A and B are shown apart, each in its own frame.
Chain A
Amino acid sequence: MIVRTIRVEAWRCFVEPLEVGPFAEDITILHAPNATGKSTLLAAMRHGFCDHHRAKGDGVEALRPWGRSLSPIIRVDFLSGGIDYRLEKRYLEGAFSRILRLEGGRFVPVAEGREADELARTFINSDPPGKGLAYRPENWGLAQVLWVPQGRLPLTGLSGNVIADLQRAIGAELAGTIGGPIEKRIDAAYYGIFTPGGSYSKGCLASKLRAELERECAALAAATEHWNQFQNTSREVEDLRSRVEGLKRTALDLEHKLEAERERAASYAALITERDRQRDAVARATAEYGQLDQTIRSIVSLREERGKARSAIALIEESLPRLSGEVASLAVAAEEKQTVLEEAKAGADAVRAARALADMAGRFVSLREKVHAMHDRLEIVSAVRAGLAERRRLRSAIIAPSSKALAEMRSAIAARDRARAALEAALVTLEIVPDRECVADVVAGEELGLLELEAGRPIELKGSPAVVVNFPGFGKLRARGPVGDIEGVRKERERAAGRLTKATEGYGTADLDELEERCAEAARVDVEISNAEAKLSGVLGGQAEEELRQERARATAALEEISAGHPEWLAEYPDVEALRGAALRAEEAFEMAVVEAEANRDAKVHDLNGARAQESASRRDLENRDRQAERLESQLRALTADGLSDEDRARRLAEIAIKQHAAGELLRKAEDGLARFGDDPRVTVVTLESQLAAANEASRKGLIEEKLAEGRLKEIAKGSPYAALARAEESVTALKENLAREECRADAIRLLHLTVSACRKEIENAVVAPVEQIATRTLHRIAGVRLGSVQLGSGFKPETIEPGVDDVTGQRLRIGVDQLSDGESEQLHFGVRLALAEHLAKDERQLVVFDDVLLATDAVRLARMTAILEDYAQRLQVVILTCHPERYGGLKSARFIDLEAVLRVCPTDAQAAVA
């Protein structure tokens, strides 16, 4: 099919009727700037051949011109099978579809409405959707290959019908006429179950069954768990019953044991009582025996001691007179030695006098030196005080401002100067330098009145805002200046002058330099006063002068007192050291004499005391012996107060011994009886009672647990766990069977689909080879042999190129087309499109449209491509839509249509626009 003319009306940007054509049978370049409507024309033609005229929806609405409610119309005149046809379609309001055929020079209707739609599609073998527009390329039929919209040069895979057409065209004839529909049904059956990835689709029966099976399996697991719980609880109850029975038996055994043990405990307790009683009897007899035995022994012993005491008394009484004589003679000797000692001590006064003389001489010397030193310090103090008084007098005579007052003065002077300068600046100054003497009358200015001017003597007049001077006979001279607040400035100056006067009054002068000198002199005198005060303080050492004078007076008085007793020391200083040596020697001699006398006296006194002590000891010993003898006598009387004789006591002692032995025997028997019991049966009774209580408690608790478990068991049994399990298991089994059946069917359909796909692939491969060869040849013409051969994939989609070299593994290297540059990718797809178009045009010339697709190709290769297009134009009708017609200038035989020019001229006179 080739196209003659295209006419559109009310179609997007074309509101008015526009007819483009006639197109050349070989090459036509339809050119216009961007947004003129080239692509719209291609799209309109595609709509015309593919879409139902009654199509509705937003897509069809979008075909109207913007903001208008016109119905889009398309008319295409074309040649197919050697016959000229006309396709006319109108969309939306007043929609119609019509195919006409040129017969006898005029177009005669062939089909209308739906039939016309169907017939139109057969020209490009399109397969549009049931509703809406055929937007998707897979619905475009041959146009998928032949009509290339902007930006869609790469092939993305062809639909089944086009592949079949290509197969037929290539001559493979491997797929029969009904093969396509059967394959579709096989695909439909497959994709009704599986996803393109080969897994089960969510909506298929197998998936639903699996989901249901999962749910039922979960229910089965829950039911199984419930049933197991029932079984386990039953076992638990059984175990608890067994345990409770065991505990009851244990309790019964314990009761029996306890009864027997209690009887033994009673016997044991009786023996304990007997043992304790006999133990008391033995203890009592033992005590009584011991007491009597002790009495007898004591009597014997006392009698012996009493005899010894009487012998000692006799000996002491015999030695006492001799000891008294020794004491008397020793007392006389000690008295004599005491007298000698007192005589030696009488030399102490002389020693004290010598020591006092030496001390007084030392004090005399010390006082003399002290008096002299204090006198010197008081002299210095007097001198410093005199100097200080003089400087203070000088300082009081200096009238100087303080540094703060000085700063205030400086501030006032600065303010006054600033105000004065401001005043100067605010005043108009008129300087007159007369050549000769004359008189001037100042009528405006600071100072008014007549002025006499001398020749050559300049004079300045000031005023504000002007200075006006009349020169009689000459005229009036007026000088104006800046206008300011002259009074304000004056007040400021007065305030500053007042501040200065106030600051300097009292100093006798306002001369700042003099005042600063005074201030410096006052500071110097202040330093001298400060230094003198520091010196005075250092000499006094923290004392007051008066204190120092009093201290000197006291020292002088003490000195005079000493010299009154020793006037010779006034003439000559005493030798203190000599005096002290003499005193020391006298003291040492005195001390030696006293020590010797004391030692003699002490020796005698010691002897005397020894004799006296011996005498006293003998007397005390005598007294003690007397008291001892008396006490022993008393004790003997007490022990023998029972009135018994020694023989009676001996007899009584023997009786008690017999009684003690008898009680001991009974005690041993009781203890033997207890020993035969081993452990205390009363302890065992307590233990058994505790065990019995524990067993009863455990039994009670076990019974409660048993009842609780029974309750749980009944509750579970009420839920019929097995019935639920049975239902769940039946459901799961049924689902498994259904699933297995469905999966078996699915496996069969998968195998069928895969086998058909494999066969289709093999056939496609056989068909693809000729296309690959032509595409490769075209690519070589454009880009040279560097890129090697082209390989197509499923649906004739270019996949790889094979440059003819091996990779590192020794395999032929294949490169994905996505790795090519934009230009080479464009050239590859161009070649593949043309190869496919050549096959499709085997029976009839076909229209090929390229809508601004060769954009990335350089000028050299584009020239080659245009040459290729010229070749193909012998078998194809090539229409190129472009905004760069100059790029196709090399196509000498091409027909160029300027769409913009067509739009400018009468729409129906488009031929005028053809270059």
Chain B
Amino acid sequence: MKFLHTADWQIGMKAAHAGRAAQRVRAERMAAAIRVIEIARQEAVDFIVVAGDTFEDNGVERALVQQVGDILSSFGRPVYLIPGNHDPFVPGSVWEHPVWSMAKSVRVLAEEEPVEVCGGLLFPCPILAKYSRKDPTAWIRAEQSRGICLGVAHGTVEGLCQEEPDYPIPLDAPNMRSLDYLALGHWHSTTGYSRPDGSVRMAYSGTHETTKFGERDSGNVLIVEIAAPGVPPVITQARTGGLYWTVLERELLDDGDLERVVDEISEIDTAEHTLIDVRLRGLITPSKRNWLDRIDDLLQARFVCGRLGTSGLRITPQDDSWLADLPVGPVRGAAERLRSIADPAGGEARPAGVTTETASRALLELYSILRSDR
């Protein structure tokens, strides 16, 4: 038995964190779904199991449901889906769309009944409500079953950090339920649960396309091969994600650091597939302010989405070369006062509500005004 395990496609997902690239992020998830089918074909798997959250919500556009149905049907071999907590099997859900009844090879498993699959039995654990504290695998009785027994469920494996674990799944669920493999969905990072003997009989395939910055090891599917009942599965991870979510955190210690950050960003050759979050902290001289603009220009021009965080930057307190050029009078007096406020160690009393960051920005604005004057 060989099958592809995937989950958490989250089609129609909102991507406010991606800014202007939100639509691109959504489109990439659909493109990644096509890549899943391509890999399934390449690997010649017997069937595909989608372990929940195929859609972000039951209220997504019906056209997307049709598209997903069409993509899954295009595989030509059986595809088994269970509703997840994002798209539970409730009235008005995406599962009422006619595409599921028309697609012969695609089955939405909405009842807790074992289904015969190629070479064994599949025990589906459909989700019928958004939240529950119930173990979705509790109903499975596979002890007496012959052949390879698979489970497909959507929930949180015990031990994962969550305040109120919804749909909890025991850590030794495969053993408890007499399953050869339990395909899981819900968590987006690819994770396998090894037994003491080193075998893995329960795994999260992770989402097929990364959803946000900082999401570890996502954008994959799992190819699972089980030779016979009781034989440990052979699991292979395959990359399906099309986008890279990169976080670049750098501390500026001297004048050259900013140029080096620019070089580093410039050297990213997958920029057209990358969403990048650059977070800078440390010290900056006003004369280097144009380098920040340069970075911002690069991010906006080359990357799918670029963010530049400068809230951690402070004006170098020792830099008073440009202040000497200011005319004697209120402007120079103000600049000196702002520099003192911007310095966390400065002796100047900060007015109420004014932060060192605001003072730094005010100095940078003054510098911009002076520069524009010239």
B-binding residues in A (CB < 8 A)? 173-179, 181-183, 185-186, 189, 227, 230-231, 233-235, 237-238, 241, 709-710, 713-714, 716-718, 720-723, 725-727, 729-730, 732-734, 737, 744-745, 747-749, 751-752, 754-760, 762-763
User: In the bound complex, what is the Cα–Cα distance between A478 and B369 (angstroms)?
Assistant: 128
Q: Is B354 an interface residue (CB 8 A)?
A: yes
Do B361 and A747 have beta carbons less than 8 Å apart? Answer: yes
Q: CB distance B329 to A720 under 8 Å?
A: no
**Interchain CB contact under 8 A, A730 and B58:** no
B-side contacts of A237, CB under 8 Å: 91-92
B333 neighbours in A (Cβ, 8 Å): 756, 759, 762-763
Q: Which residues of A contact B16 (CB under 8 A)?
A: 726, 729-730, 732-734
Give the CA-CA distance A727 to B26 in the complex, in Å.
11
The main secondary structure of chain A at its interface with chain B is helix
Q: Which of A179, A720, A730, A762 contacts B22, CB < 8 Å?
A: A730
Contact of A720 among B60, B351, B364 (CB under 8 A): B60
Q: Once bound together, how far apart are the Cα atoms of A744 and B361, in whole Å? A: 8
In the complex, B259 has a CB within 8 A of chain A: no
Indicate if the CB atoms of A175 and B328 lie closer than 8 Å.
yes
**Do A760 and B330 touch (CB < 8 A)?**
yes
A726 in contact with B12 (CB, 8 Å): yes
Known: A755-B362, A759-B330. Is A182-B92 also a contact (CB below 8 A)?
no
Is B38 engaged at the interface, CB distance under 8 Å to the other chain?
Answer: no
Name the B residues within 8 Å of A758 (CB-CB): 334
Q: How far is B329's CA from A230's CA once the two chains are assembled, in angstroms?
A: 64
Cross-chain pairs A/B with CB under 8 angstroms, 14 sampled: A175-B329, A179-B330, A230-B92, A238-B91, A710-B92, A718-B62, A722-B14, A722-B59, A723-B60, A734-B20, A752-B334, A752-B365, A755-B338, A759-B334
Is B41 an interface position by the 8 A CB rule?
no
Decide yes or no: A722 and B12 within 8 Å by CB, A734-B20, A737-B19, A744-B358 being known contacts.
yes
What residues of chain B lie closer than 8 Å to A231, measured between beta carbons? Answer: 59
Minimum distance in angstroms from B353 CB to a CB of chain A: 9
Q: Name which residue of chain B comes closest to A712, CB basis.
A: B92
Give A649 to B186 CA distance when docked, in angstroms.
106
Interface-central residue, B16, B91, B369, B373, by most chain A CB under 10 Å: B91
- Cα of A755 to Cα of B358 in the assembled complex, Å: 12
In the complex, are the beta carbons of A751 and B359 less than 8 A apart?
yes
* Complex-state Cα separation, A227 to B15, whole angstroms: 17
Known: A234-B92, A747-B361. A755 touches B337 (CB 8 A): yes
Expressed in whole angstroms, the Cα–Cα distance for A233 and B58 within the complex equals 12
In the complex, chain A residues whose CB is within 8 Å of the CB of B369: 182, 185-186, 189
Q: In whole Å, how far is B213's beta carbon from the nearest beta carbon of chain A?
A: 14
Known: A173-B328, A759-B337. A238 touches B19 (CB 8 A): no
CB distance from A733 to the nearest CB of B (A): 4
**Those 7 A-B pairs whose CB atoms lie nearest each other, nearest first:** A176-B327, A726-B14, A722-B59, A175-B329, A748-B361, A237-B91, A733-B16
What would 19 more interface pairs be, CB under 8 Å, given A234-B93, A730-B14? A173-B328, A176-B327, A176-B329, A178-B373, A179-B327, A185-B372, A227-B57, A231-B59, A722-B12, A722-B56, A722-B57, A723-B12, A723-B60, A727-B14, A748-B361, A752-B365, A758-B334, A762-B330, A763-B329
How far apart sit A177 and B328, CA to CA, in the bound complex (Å)? 8
Please tell me if the beta carbons of A182 and B90 are within 8 angstroms of each other in the complex: no
Q: Which residue of A lies closest to B357 (CB)?
A: A744
Interface presence of B247 (CB below 8 A) = no
Do B14 and A745 touch across chains, with their CB atoms under 8 A apart?
Answer: no
Complexed CA–CA distance, A747 and B354 (Å): 9
Q: How many A-B residue pairs have CB under 8 A?
A: 164
Please indicate the chain B residues that have their CB under 8 angstroms from the CB of A716 in the complex: 59, 92
- Which residues of chain B in 318-337 are interfacial with respect to chain A, using CB atoms and an 8 Å cutoff? 326-334, 337
Flag if B373 contacts A185 (CB, 8 Å): yes
Considering the complex, give the chain A residue whose CB is closest to the CB of B16. A733
Residue of B nearest to A760 (CB): B330
Contact partners of B58 in chain A: CB under 8 A: 230, 234, 717, 722
Contact with A along B337-369 (1 / 0, CB 8 A): 110000000000001001001110111111001
> Do A720 and B59 contact each other (CB < 8 Å), given the known contacts A713-B92, A725-B14, A759-B337?
yes
Residues in chain B within 8 A of chain A (CB atoms): 12-20, 22, 56-62, 64, 90-93, 326-334, 337-338, 351, 354, 357-359, 361-366, 369-370, 372-373
A722 CB contacts on chain B under 8 angstroms: 12, 14, 56-60
**In the complex the two chains form, is A178's CB within 8 Å of B365's CB?**
no
Taking the nearest CB of chain A, how far is it from the CB of B351, in angstroms?
Answer: 8
| Nearest chain B residue, comparing its CB with the CB of A174 | B329
Nearest A residue to B90, CB-CB = A234
Say which residue of B19, B330, B354, B372 sits within 8 Å of A756 (CB atoms). B330
Contacts of A760 in B (CB 8 A): 329-330
Q: Are A720 and B61 in contact (CB under 8 A)?
A: yes
**A198→B354 CA distance, assembly (Å):** 16
CA distance A585 to B359 in the complex (A): 153
Contact, CB under 8 Å: A763 / B59: no
Minimum distance in angstroms from B243 CB to a CB of chain A? 16
Is there contact, CB below 8 Å, between B361 and A186?
no
Query: A175, B330: Cβ atoms under 8 Å?
Result: yes
Residue of B nearest to A763 (CB): B330
The answer on a CB contact under 8 Å between B59 and A721 is: yes
Residues in chain B near residue A732, CB distance under 8 A:
16
Residue pair B331, A751 in contact (C-beta under 8 Å): no
Contact of A733 among B17, B92, B359, B372 (CB under 8 A): B17
Least CB distance, B278 to chain A, in whole angstroms = 15
The docked-state distance in angstroms from the alpha carbon of A24 to that of B5 is 105
Q: Bound complex: CA of A3 vs CA of B363, how far in Å?
A: 47
A227 and B59 within 8 A (CB) = yes
Taking CB atoms, residues of chain B closer than 8 Å to A176 are 326-329, 332
Cβ contact within 8 Å between B90 and A186: no
Distance (whole angstroms) from the CB of B328 to the closest CB of chain A: 5
Say how far A220's CB is from chain B's closest CB, in angstroms. 10
Known interface pairs A185-B369, A189-B369, A745-B365. Does A726 touch B13 (Cβ–Cβ under 8 Å)? Answer: yes
CA A749 to CA B338, docked complex, whole Å: 11
CA distance A762 to B332 in the complex (A): 13
In the docked arrangement, what's the CA distance between A734 and B19, Å? 6
- Contact in complex: A713, B62 (CB < 8 Å): no
Q: Roughly how many angstroms separate A756 CA and B338 CA in the complex, as a whole number? A: 10
B-side contacts of A762, CB under 8 Å: 330, 333
Please report the C-alpha to C-alpha distance between residue A733 and residue B20 in the assembled complex, in whole angstroms.
10
Chain A residues with CB below 8 A from B60, complex form: 720, 722-723
Contacts of A227 in B (CB 8 A): 57, 59
> Does the CB pair B358–A748 fall under 8 Å?
yes
Closest to A724 in B: B59
| Shortest Cβ gap from A218 to chain B (Å) | 17
* Contact, CB under 8 Å: B91 / A241: yes
Partner of B14, one of A174, A717, A729, A756: A729
Q: Given A713-B92, A737-B19, answer yes or no on A752-B59 (Cβ-Cβ < 8 Å).
A: no
Distance to closest chain A CB from B139 (angstroms) = 20
Q: Are A751 and B90 in contact (CB under 8 A)?
A: no
Q: Which residues of B sit under 8 angstroms from A727, Cβ to Cβ?
A: 14
- With A and B bound together, what is the CA distance between A744 and B309 in angstroms? 12
Chain B residue numbers with a CB within 8 Å of A230 are 58-59, 92
A714–chain B nearest beta-carbon distance, Å: 7
Q: Which residues of A contact B337 (CB under 8 A)?
A: 755, 759
**Bound: A723/B333 CA distance, A:** 54
CB distance from A729 to the nearest CB of B (A): 5
- Name the one of A182, A233, A744 contacting B331, with C-beta atoms under 8 angstroms: A182
Q: Which residue from chain A places its CB closest to the CB of B361 in the assembled complex?
A: A748
Cross-chain contact A749 with B362 (CB below 8 angstroms): yes
Question: Which residue in chain B gives the minimum CB-CB distance to A747?
Answer: B358
A760 and B58 alpha carbons, distance in the complex (Å): 62
| B residues near A173, Cβ cutoff 8 Å | 328
Tell me how far the C-beta of A121 lies from the nearest C-beta in chain B, rounded to whole angstroms: 22
Residue of B nearest to A733 (CB): B16
Residues of the B chain whose Cβ atoms lie less than 8 Å from the Cβ of A755: 334, 337-338, 362
For residue A751, which residue of chain B has the nearest CB?
Answer: B362
**Beta-carbon contact of B12 and A752 below 8 Å:** no
